[in-house]
Structure 1
Amino acid sequence: MNQRFFHRDLSWVEFNARVLAEGLREDVPLLERVKFLAITGSNFDEFFQVRVATLRKQRRRGDRSTCPSGIRPSEAIDRIHRRVRELLRSAYEGFEQRILPELEAEGILRIPRSEFDEEVKGFFLREVFPLLTPVRLEDAFPFLHPERFWILGCGDEGRKVLVEIPPMLPPVVFFPGPGGRVRWTFLEEMIEAFLPDLVPGVRDVMVFRVLRDADLSVDEERDEDFLRAMEEVLEDRASSRAVALFVREGADRLAEAVREELELEEDAVFRTGVPLALSSLFALYEGIDRADLKDPPWPPVMPAGYEEERSILEVLDDRDLLLHHPYESFYPVIRLLEEAAEDPEVLVVKIVLYRTAKDSRIVAALERAARRGKQVVVLLELKARFDEARNIEWAKRLERAGAIVLYGISHLKVHAKALMVIRKDGKGIRRYVHVSTGNYNERTAQLYSDIGFMTSREDLAAEIAHFFNMVTGYTNITSLQKLAVAPHTLKPRLISLIEREIHRVRDGESGRIMAKMNALADPDVIEALYRASQEGVEVLLNVRGVCMLVPGVPGLSERIRVVSIVDRFLEHSRIYYFENGGEPDLFIASADWMPRNLERRVELMIPVESPGLKRKVIRILTTYFADTTHSYLLTPHGSYTRVTGPEPVRAQEVLYRLSQREDVSFSSYEEEGRFRVRKKR
């Protein structure tokens, strides 16, 4: 095993452990804790469908390690399964022993199966039973769809009946309670309880669900019908190999029958409590209208420099805008596209779409622009995992509206976030640009922390135009002075910036790197950071999820500090700071420091150069390193410990207050490795 790198997937499991920890904190609002448990379960589902599925395929193909850690797939799977079982046990114990009693104290009463009354049974008979279709099993099971829940019943002489839980029904059912209280139960328990009474011969029942391999590839050579190729991928995903079976605790005999049918190894069976899927708790969170048990609202504001009474195009003629979501509104981006659709002097709109909202105003504006005769060019990445079906539908709609829709680049995902509006008036051609660390998705812009930049500066607009020509025309990247583009120049640029800090230290100056990202897994970048640490460069990293770098090792990485923030908003922005001898270079990017982002995706990194905007972004970046309430410190052993300090500092709350123009100041960075935040008196 290589001690220079943590295993990528084991590191991710520890990230989800931090998500779970938020769900078990007493100082988090009660229903938000329920939501964190649901997120924990949803995260694990996707992890098994993609990463564990990949490890299982590697194990079948010879069990050779492809991870710089040197850990073989079989060992990684064993360690993942052990840790996941520990975390699921903690999640269910926390839900049953801590959260449920607190919900009951708030008048939110779970109806246990032993107390199902005539009201519950009546609901079942009216609303649920007519939708159930018991299927008698003879020799084999029908296909078990991965997104469904199933009940297996067993009766006399071993006869088995399979029932699909209707997917159109919510997993949590609510009933009015006395005195304004709410009663509720899980749909799966209701069906378990009443099914034996209504299906003759059935005695034992077991709820179960199956996760299948979602890490499937598309035939990249089918340019002539790539849309259909992606539709076939979705069809294949639904019928792919099973990777995990989740059953209720104590259902060993029936679970074994399903496991054998799925041809799963014994270690792929997970026994849980109620609900079978923690993600079912989303329905409980959404179904309870109790603002006092949820996070207080933090409504977004408009960014500094934005003027509601003026056209957004006029504003951008005068100044750049930097938007820090979700604290600052995503509306200026929507307004840019909606104005472009209506403005007769706008000729062209170009955009890269990766993940969009369900009822997207972005897509609606693009459709209107196309129908009004403007040239609308949309590079729509069909390979955005788990959003493929939605993107296929958007592609068809945009094409019907008259847009030019391109489906990405063969063998590369286009993950960059860029938009360009081209307008011609009496003064000539003017280009307006938006680039971002996050997607063109007005829903996630309210939930994820991201940074967007809007400008009409011709030097940047010209380079963004070159970028669009590259991704739409499949041309080689031209020489760009401002932008760095993966997979061509971004990784070499990052390493050269790290090396520059090393040379600064060698010349007797100070060196510092600060970076915020979702994941750090690129071995070349990690080795460059190790060299920087060994030469005396101070490295501060805020890595939300996977981190393969081992910090704090004498002689290797003792000057590297890694923290992770988990709070109400998902940390998604990528910010990179290089001190450069007191004249810092600052960048925002769509790319994490991972091989897939730097070598196998099209990504953008853009400098923040305006002094005022640079100060704003640096303040955002340093605020995270000041956190003493929701920050976790990565140890050299791969575990995380909660960061504490002399006073409680919650980075996301500070950032919200800063967005509200409140007066908050920071002291300088201190030798012990922490920022301190002080409120101005």
Structure 2
Amino acid sequence: MKIFSARGPMDNSQDRELPEPQASTKENLEPAVPTPRITDLSNPEYYINRELSHLQFNRRVLEQALNDDHPLIERLRFLLIYSSNMDEFFEIRVAGLMQQVEFAREQVGLDGLGPQAVLKEISNQAKESVQLQYEILNDKLLPRLAKQGIRFVRRHQLNDKQKAWIKRFFYNEVMPIISPIGLDPAHPFPRLANKLLCFIVAMEGKDAFGRETGMAIIPAPRSLPRVVELPDEVCDKGGKNYVFLSSIIHLHMQDLFPGMTIKGCYQFRLTRNSDLDLEDEVEDLAKALQGELLSRRYGETVRLEVVDNCPKPLVDFLLKEFGLTDNELYRVDGPVNLTRMMSVCNEVSPEFEHLTFPSFTPGYPKALQTRSTRSVNVLDAIRKSDILLHHPFESFTPVVDMLRQAATDSNVLAIRQTLYRTGARSEMVDALVEAARKGKEVTVIVEIRARFDEEENLALARRLQEAGAVVVYGVVAYKTHAKLILIVRREGKKIQRYAHLGTGNYHAGNARLYTDYSLLTCDKDITNDVRKIFQQLTGMGKAVRVRKLFHAPFTLKKSLIELINQEAVNAKEGKPARVIIKVNSLTESHLIKALYRASQAGVEVRLIIRGICCLRPGIPGLSENIQVRSIVGRFLEHTRVFYFENDDRFRVYCSSADGMVRNLDMRVETCFPIEEPKLAARVKKELELYLSDNTCSWQLQSDGHYLQNKPSRGQRRRNAQRRLLETLANYAH
């Protein structure tokens, strides 16, 4: 059985339609011979490698750049997101595998592959995808963008006016801050920061001191824009015209080395290990983290990207200098730092809005709407009934308003909240600061180890502390990933609690890009459970007992497996049995084995896994009742939902946790029930919508690769995200 299926760069096998079920005939009416049940669930052939599955997800993101259904600028955006995803993949995942090899701590995964075998396969697959990426950029996107009036002008295309303007820009903006470094015994190879655009220069001649090294390195300062817009007055055509910083530096290379003969100048970029390694026994987590952040930019090298026309001797020199091999070398046909082109996608002028996704206004729940200009008090609305929001189709504003109103409400006594990622400019943090300054008891669990947001979260923590809030950094060995707000309010002679529980972060920007659920409730048991979890995070004591929530690392995994096992029991007894799980990733072995056993018992299992999936569907005797699909579309699918048929008395849970070891065993997570019947039925209906998508969905095959779902002849196109926009948001396409 194949562990990973490779495809050629332009192979269209992913576009094949899934076969329709065959109608019964006389020939197949005979009783089928039962497929022998597989009992050894530890066989490596029944699992997909985690890292290679991750690569497959990134490939699906890249292939959105080929999708003619997406507007042109959005196709470019997907291509750049792929670059960003791959950067993080190498900084964290590949770096971890290389460390295992270096320190002889190699671990074999469920799939039976060791890190050296995985690294080799990653190199093969990633190089194929990177080649496809640059083919899409150069042959499809850039020419089409140019026809629409968005041009990336290459050096040989510049006119005289543009060259003159670029020369002034170089002398005024680049020359004063750039530092060329000639290599000789007094100037050793510089220490280059992670993902920094650099140039290696080959030259001839002696300088003023008689030195004749023949080689130099130019790091491009991070303060310089990687894409520079040319002014209209120097352009022969209208629209937007851009030039890459690399082209500007190339054009004036001679000015950086006066009197020398430049033989060649070539871009390269180095990727380093960016994971942070904190010991469990630290006295001050914040101080320890600050120390680690200083060294993140200079971790061990894991990848070298070089333009494809760089001569082999120079490439070999760089590889030797960085301690890398050809496996870690990526030759590219274009800029080595494509993610910096994202500024073009983010700053679209009105004349090019037709090249982006149509705008929409998130819907607002009826329970919070009013005919007057006065806003509804969110807490009063929650007291009448639970409120469920599906972002970004529905507004995130009610969550912000709930906190803002609580901050100024004289009857509110205390506010507690977890913060994982919230953004530099956060209205929610503003509200917490205001509440603390007004004398309310404000306690915030700030997870300062949220990857790549550590520095920002440290600054947020300092700001909250200065306002008088109590800030706790969670538990050293367990990241606090749960999304919780608890508001304590005096109402008459009693104390009333209100809570927000979510699947996503308290980040208003992400709430426009990620799909997530928010539950606003004052249910007595749920809010008391939330109170207990906060108490456990800020204080000390044994694991708390909660009534309605599941929480990791204590009860969540066990409870999910028990619910899956119950579906298997129901199936064996002839009762309705079905499981639907929608998460970002599925890697936890016990959860996978429970799903395998449920499939063997006859349970219909439908998994909507956006990214990594280590489970193999469709294996006779093991997983023939399991289907796995991935949705990749306009919005990043981020909701985590667990549905259980439960003998026609279905149960629905939403969660902050994915089906991964780190979520279930190494993080503080919550999983909360949607108990109000109408809300639970709504979540079920929306899950069915995703299961019927035949436009933005991909079906996982048993050999580990994905086929894109497409409508069969005469079948209506179904796009789940667009349908949710049409039904929940103000959207006219």
In 2: Cα distance, 1:662 partner to 1:630 partner: 19
User: Of the candidates 118, 133, 145, which is equivalent to residue 193 of structure 2?
Assistant: 145
| TM-score after normalising by structure 2 | 0.88
Asked if structure 2 preserves the Cα contact closer than 8 Å seen for 1:301 and 1:659, the reply is: yes
In 2: Cα distance, 1:508 partner to 1:424 partner: 50
Post-superposition shift, 1:124? 2.4
The reply to whether residue 170 of structure 1 matches residue 228 of structure 2 is no
Post-superposition shift, 1:128? 2.1
Asked if structure 2 preserves the Cα contact closer than 8 Å seen for 1:437 and 1:572, the reply is: yes
Higher RCO (CA 8 Å, separation ≥ 6 residues): 2
Post-superposition shift, 1:662? 9.8
Q: Spell out, residue by residue over 1:585-628, the C-alpha distance to the aligned partner (whole angstroms, 9 max, x if none).
A: 10000001111110111100000010111111111211111111
Tell me the SS of whatever aligns to 1:305.
helix
The reply to whether residue 135 of structure 1 matches residue 181 of structure 2 is yes
Q: Which protein has the larger Cα radius of gyration, Structure 1 or Structure 2? A: 2
The reply to whether residue 244 of structure 1 matches residue 292 of structure 2 is no
Q: Which amino acid aligns with 1:69?
A: D
Q: How does 1:424-573 map to 2 (within 5 A)?
A: 424-573=490-639
Post-superposition shift, 1:661? 8.5
The reply to whether residue 307 of structure 1 matches residue 369 of structure 2 is yes
In 1: Cα distance, 2:609 partner to 2:251 partner: 45
Name the CA shift for 1:398/1:66 in 2 (closer, same or farther; >3 Å). Answer: farther
Tell me the SS of whatever aligns to 1:432.
strand
In 2: Cα distance, 1:616 partner to 1:641 partner: 29
% same residue: 37
In 1: Cα distance, 2:628 partner to 2:62 partner: 20
Asked if structure 2 preserves the Cα contact closer than 8 Å seen for 1:498 and 1:529, the reply is: yes
Post-superposition shift, 1:179? 5.0
Tell me the SS of whatever aligns to 1:151.
strand
In 2: Cα distance, 1:159 partner to 1:373 partner: 67
Name the CA shift for 1:63/1:462 in 2 (closer, same or farther; >3 Å). Answer: closer
User: Of the candidates 133, 151, 155, which is equivalent to residue 109 of structure 1?
Assistant: 151
Q: Which amino acid aligns with 1:587?
A: Y
Q: Spell out, residue by residue over 1:501-551, the C-alpha distance to the aligned partner (whole angstroms, 9 max, x if none).
A: 000011111210011000000011101100111110000000000000000
Post-superposition shift, 1:476? 2.5
User: Of the candidates 484, 492, 507, which is equivalent to residue 418 of structure 1?
Assistant: 484
What is aligned with 1:587? 653
The reply to whether residue 341 of structure 1 matches residue 407 of structure 2 is yes
What is aligned with 1:160? 215
The reply to whether residue 393 of structure 1 matches residue 459 of structure 2 is yes
What is aligned with 1:667? none
Q: Which amino acid aligns with 1:40?
A: Y
Post-superposition shift, 1:207? 1.4
User: Of the candidates 334, 343, 358, which is equivalent to residue 296 of structure 1?
Assistant: 358
What is aligned with 1:122? 168
The reply to whether residue 23 of structure 1 matches residue 65 of structure 2 is yes
In 1: Cα distance, 2:199 partner to 2:425 partner: 34
Asked if structure 2 preserves the Cα contact closer than 8 Å seen for 1:196 and 1:203, the reply is: no
Asked if structure 1 preserves the Cα contact closer than 8 Å seen for 2:285 and 2:476, the reply is: no
What is aligned with 2:717? 648
What is aligned with 2:113? 71
What is aligned with 1:207? 267
Q: Spell out, residue by residue over 1:653-681, the C-alpha distance to the aligned partner (whole angstroms, 9 max, x if none).
A: 01111204999xxxxxxxxxxxxxxxxxx
Asked if structure 1 preserves the Cα contact closer than 8 Å seen for 2:412 and 2:489, the reply is: yes
Asked if structure 2 preserves the Cα contact closer than 8 Å seen for 1:63 and 1:72, the reply is: no
In 1: Cα distance, 2:708 partner to 2:319 partner: 39
What is aligned with 2:339? 279
Q: Which amino acid aligns with 2:197?
A: F
Post-superposition shift, 1:304? 3.5
Deviates more, 1:280-289 or 1:293-302: 280-289
What is aligned with 2:677? 611
Post-superposition shift, 1:250? 2.1
Deviates more, 1:284-293 or 1:486-495: 284-293
The reply to whether residue 97 of structure 1 matches residue 97 of structure 2 is no
In 2: Cα distance, 1:314 partner to 1:427 partner: 17
Deviates more, 1:343-352 or 1:558-567: 343-352
Name the CA shift for 1:661/1:235 in 2 (closer, same or farther; >3 Å). Answer: closer
User: Of the candidates 46, 56, 61, which is equivalent to residue 88 of structure 2?
Assistant: 46
Q: Spell out, residue by residue over 1:373-404, the C-alpha distance to the aligned partner (whole angstroms, 9 max, x if none).
A: 11110110111111101111111111111111
Asked if structure 1 preserves the Cα contact closer than 8 Å seen for 2:447 and 2:480, the reply is: yes
In 1: Cα distance, 2:172 partner to 2:155 partner: 18
Q: State the superposition RMSD in angstroms.
A: 1.6
Q: Spell out, residue by residue over 1:413-452, the C-alpha distance to the aligned partner (whole angstroms, 9 max, x if none).
A: 1110000011113242111100000001111011000000
Asked if structure 1 preserves the Cα contact closer than 8 Å seen for 2:553 and 2:665, the reply is: yes
In 1: Cα distance, 2:700 partner to 2:588 partner: 17
What is aligned with 1:657? 726
Tell me the SS of whatever aligns to 1:299.
coil
In 1: Cα distance, 2:532 partner to 2:47 partner: 37
In 1: Cα distance, 2:515 partner to 2:731 partner: 19
In 2: Cα distance, 1:215 partner to 1:661 partner: 41
What is aligned with 1:669? none
Query: Which blocks of at least 5 consecutive residues in structure 1 are unaligned?
Result: 664-681
Name the CA shift for 1:375/1:554 in 2 (closer, same or farther; >3 Å). Answer: same
The reply to whether residue 188 of structure 1 matches residue 246 of structure 2 is yes
Q: Which amino acid aligns with 1:97?
A: D
Q: Which amino acid aligns with 2:336?
A: L
Tell me the SS of whatever aligns to 1:328.
coil
Name the CA shift for 1:298/1:662 in 2 (closer, same or farther; >3 Å). Answer: closer
Name the CA shift for 1:575/1:99 in 2 (closer, same or farther; >3 Å). Answer: same
Asked if structure 1 preserves the Cα contact closer than 8 Å seen for 2:363 and 2:730, the reply is: no
Name the CA shift for 1:580/1:384 in 2 (closer, same or farther; >3 Å). Answer: same
What is aligned with 1:269? 329
Name the CA shift for 1:147/1:89 in 2 (closer, same or farther; >3 Å). Answer: closer
In 1: Cα distance, 2:661 partner to 2:131 partner: 33
Asked if structure 2 preserves the Cα contact closer than 8 Å seen for 1:206 and 1:254, the reply is: no
In 1: Cα distance, 2:306 partner to 2:180 partner: 19
Query: Which blocks of at least 5 consecutive residues in structure 2 are unaligned?
Result: 1-42, 205-211
